[in-house]
Structure 1
């Protein structure tokens, strides 16, 4: 059940698996529907804000009940054998392999990010908002230095629309 919820949250947030596995409850603000990932946990070293859809919030509430997390520094997805460690790095991809979905290595958990990006572009969201959601850093140093926009209103709408689209596929 934990792995299934982790896979669903990965799809709903389009974060990298390492970011998901290392998430702690002090990063999550359920009331504001925001997940603030500190820079030291990000690939490029920059803090990242992830707007949470109502579907993502429901998963977070469900996993908290399952794990019984009470402390702010508890992992959202703790290791089953040792709660002081995060979920194992291979858990999500191993689940894809076990279900037969990943038998020919055509899809990995990281591929969910590409699926989201394609969908968001097809829906007409601005490329910059999509790139911000994926925590991609502007390659042009001057642009990166001047443009600090998070584009949260557009990204919040984008992530809710994405959550609704995924939910409609499972109904």
Structure 2
């Protein structure tokens, strides 16, 4: 065991970088490359080193982690193996599907890019997966297939994601020795014989874009709404980013004094850091939000639901992603901005080597002019033409 206990201060816990940081007595704070923080307990048993997860920092505070570590040290002093005892407790309990889903998502979210991903998993499993109160051993081939068949033909992409999520959760339960047998959600050699190929039934849909001349009127409607989803949609349109870049954002990415939003490479489709110059209205939206939680932590379809549902805005023919095309069309037709500047604003990867050479810098000043002009355009509603 490491000498001394309770070594880590609150500041050290909050600012610790990637790696394992000893609190003493076998307790460590683990920080991943994605800055996820969790507690682990390390010990040796029969000359074999073992490591137990004690929970994420968001779910288990330092005091509780220290208490759990102390209990494990007592168990070791009695000659017991803490990990073996945990496995025995699990084997003795009957788990429900919902409990296993929660356990897997809590564990996996420590490595995921943002909390929105966990929210998306929970929502899709709630909407389309097996019932949460179903005993784990009752999640059989027939149950999984019944869930998938309901949405396989008309919501193929959602169905394929759901199948993969069920497979991973069930696989986790099998690894933890909570259930035995073959994975009922496996595709190869199993569900592939019962379901049509997704590539054959999936219709390719291009993201429908609202004509840019109509976007200011939409923005005016959104300004009358005070909900977080309306603010998120306004912000997404103003910054011309992708849905997941908004919903996955966190306060540490924003510099409100410099009016900049730095999206890390792991959250960008092209895999490169993207800096967004924030226009005046985007800043107003951010300043209106509470700072005790991420600004736009919403599920993946919340903004789309607001835009398309008849009892909301009712624009069923358009998508949130389509506003990036609206922005591009506006920039091409209403401004003299060079194309590569517009492409930079959209965080697109440029394949042309000559043009890409101009993109070695972020060209923040030029893009700020462009985003300010977009902000100004969206504030003015065109008057109807006389008949």
Picking from 53, 77, 91, the partner of 2:302 is 91
Picking from 370, 381, 386, the partner of 1:158 is 370
Unaligned runs of 5+ in 1: 79-86
CA deviation string 1:28-56 (max 9, x = no partner) = 11110100000000111111000000111
Deviation at 1:88, TM superposition (A): 0.2
Deviation at 1:140, TM superposition (A): 3.2
What is the number of residues matched between the two proteins?
A: 154
CA deviation string 1:73-112 (max 9, x = no partner) = x42112xxxxxxxx10010111112235333xx2100010
**For residues 8 and 100 of structure 1, do their structure 2 counterparts lie closer, same or farther at Cα, with a shift above 3 Å needed?**
closer
Match of 1:81 in 2: none
Match of 1:82 in 2: none
In 2: Cα distance, 1:136 partner to 1:45 partner? 10
Question: Is 2:327 the partner of 1:101?
Answer: no
More strand, by proportion = 2
Match of 1:138 in 2: 350
Picking from 112, 116, 119, the partner of 2:330 is 119
Match of 2:42 in 1: none
CA deviation string 1:10-36 (max 9, x = no partner) = 110000000000010000111101000
Question: Is 2:11 the partner of 1:11?
Answer: no
Picking from 286, 291, 301, the partner of 1:69 is 291
Contact 2:265–2:273 (CA under 8 A) maintained in structure 1? yes
Q: Which one has more relative contact order, counting CA pairs under 8 Å at least 6 apart?
A: 1
Q: Which moved more, 1:137-146 or 1:45-54?
A: 137-146
Q: Which moved more, 1:141-150 or 1:106-115?
A: 141-150
Bigger CA radius of gyration = 2
SS at match of 1:169: coil
SS at match of 2:246: helix
Unaligned runs of 5+ in 2: 1-226, 383-387
Q: Which runs of 4+ in 1 moved over 6 A?
A: none
Deviation at 1:143, TM superposition (A): 5.5
In 2: Cα distance, 1:54 partner to 1:28 partner? 14
TM-score normalised over the length of structure 1: 0.83
**For residues 147 and 111 of structure 1, do their structure 2 counterparts lie closer, same or farther at Cα, with a shift above 3 Å needed?**
closer
TM-score normalised over the length of structure 2: 0.38
In 2: Cα distance, 1:146 partner to 1:114 partner? 22
